[in-house]
Amino acid sequence: MAEEILYLTELLGLKVYDLRRRPLGRVRDAVLVPKLHPVRVDRFLVAGGGGYTWLYVRHDQVAEISLDGIWLRDEMLVPYHADEYALRLVRDVLDQQIIDARGRKVVRVTDITFEVRREADGDVLHVLEVDIGMRAVLRRLLQGWVPRRWIRRLQRRVPPNSIRWDLCNIVEPDPQRRLRLNISMEPLEQMHPADLADIVEELSPEDREAIIEAIDTEVAAEALSEMDPETQARIIESLDAGKAADILEEMAPDEAADVLAELEEETTEEILEEMESAPKAEVEELLEYDEDTAGGLMNTEFVAVHEEATVADAIDALRARQDLAETVTTIFITDTDDRLRAAIPIARLFLAKPSSRVSELVRPDDEIIQTTTETPASRVLELFDKYNLLTLPVIDDEQRLAGVITADDIISVLRNR
């Protein structure tokens, strides 16, 4: 009887028959070659001759596949040999952890579902889903003890739990093998950084490093920013100094400084040596401050203009920092010596004439709530709570604007306490 679907656990142990319908051996694995076809089983690994001889059966040598066995239409089989482009489903996927890109979680594979398709003169298998639920566990427990068709009837009482194959991402630590197997990181790169961070934190240290190294550097930086300091440090110190520097350059300077502060001094120096001069200088400056002070909490990413600047100048300054577009709520006004004079909401710029000076937008009741680089972190928290602040400017001993603490920075502090 022809089948529409077949499970990997049902495929394993199926007898393979030659043209005279004599058994040649039993299936031990199914192999994909993603560079040739993303979902078609390219060949079967068959154990014959008492189990000591392993042979390959190509997909185009198969006449029929069912629960009763595999019948061949071509007997020119070749001995098994290692293939660096092959993904063996039993060895490489079954019982392994994979990433469910849809559910944004790490899951363990308990079975694999195939679709049986009739193509040309024979049946072929296409991978449909990865099974992760109790139905697959039931199949595996009963396989070999209960007839396959009986198991199918029994499993109807258990709801299925599966993930489409195209929504699965295999974790492969070896970068060369990832390339050969055509494993794409695109589904992970499209996730929200917080979701990706949760996934990476669930993986083993080796797999964490593999994912961070494989994905886009900017995406890696965003995900790393969502992790706890200890995990950040472990991942960064496991990477090559050059790769670690590339990621830290994409992070906000204060976040990069926080990560480096968790590392051994020698490791920090190696990474700093690999960083470009501009971000390196910002990070080194922040590393000089105690982490429990305003200087240790602040970041140097803000927009400030001279008090003689026009509204048009201020808007140009904002456009020049498009990377801050989603986070900047306040624009700071300084004098010729970079001393802080005022702070105004960005919304006022868009309500004023472009030719107006920014200093004219300052209202008499505008009070600058500010702090110094040496202010204890506990006092900073009090200021945010007392005045319901979104941003808090930080000045140095000479009243110059040194940095800004944002509500996000405070949330991170509270989260890591």
CATH of the domain at 42: 2.30.30.240
Single-letter amino acid, residue 116: V
Q: What are the φ and ψ backbone dihedral angles of 131, each rounded to 5 degrees?
A: -95, 135
Longest dimension (CA), the chain: 98
| Same domain flag for 138 and 9 | yes
**Within this chain, do residues 23 and 76 fall inside the same structural domain, yes or no?**
yes
Report DSSP letters for 209-268, one per residue. Answer: HHHHHHS-HHHHHHHHHTS-HHHHHHHHHHS-HHHHHHHHHHS-HHHHHHHHHTS-HHHH
pLDDT at position 101, please? 83
Confidence at residue 66, expressed as pLDDT on a 0 to 100 scale: 92
404 three-class SS? strand
- The verdict on residue 406 lying in a domain is yes
- Domain CATH code at residue 371: 3.10.580.10
In a domain, 186, yes or no: no
Same domain, 315 and 275: no
pLDDT digits (tens, 9 = 90+) for 15-39: 999 998 899 999 999 999 999 999 9
CATH of the domain at 225: 1.25.60.10
* Residue 355 φ/ψ, nearest 5 degrees: -85, -10
Residue 391 lies in a domain: yes
Tell whether 308 and 234 lie within a shared domain: no
Number of domains in the chain: 3
For residues 160 and 59, membership in a common domain is answered with yes
**pLDDT value of position 39:** 94
Burial-class residue 185 by CB neighbours within 10 Å (0-12, 13-18, 19+).
Answer: middle
Is 63 in the same domain as 146? Answer: yes
Question: Could you tell me the end-to-end alpha-carbon distance of the chain, in angstroms, rounded to an integer?
Answer: 63
Q: Is residue 187 part of a domain?
A: no
Domain, as residue range, for 325: 304-415
Residue 180 is assigned to a structural domain of this protein: no
Q: Dihedral of CA 97/99/102/105: which sign?
A: positive
What's the pTM value of the predicted model, to 2 decimals? 0.78
Helix (H, G, I), strand (E, B) or coil at 186: helix
Task: Spell out, as residue ranges, where the chain has pLDDT lower than 50.
Answer: 1
Judge if 268 and 220 occupy the same domain: yes
CB distance 70 to 86 below 8 Å? no
- The one-letter code for the residue type at 405 is I
- C-beta separation of 324 from 375 below 8 A: no
Same domain (yes/no): 283, 311: no
User: Residue 334's beta-bridge partner residues?
Assistant: 306, 340
Same domain, 310 and 351: yes
Same domain for 311 and 388, yes or no, is: yes
Residue 271: per-residue pLDDT:
95
Whole-angstrom Cα distance, residue 380 to residue 99?
40
Structural tokens at position 217: 């550097």
What pLDDT is attached to residue 32? 95
Listed residue (88, 84, 75) closest to 25, CA to CA? 75
Token pair, residue 153, equals 């009837």
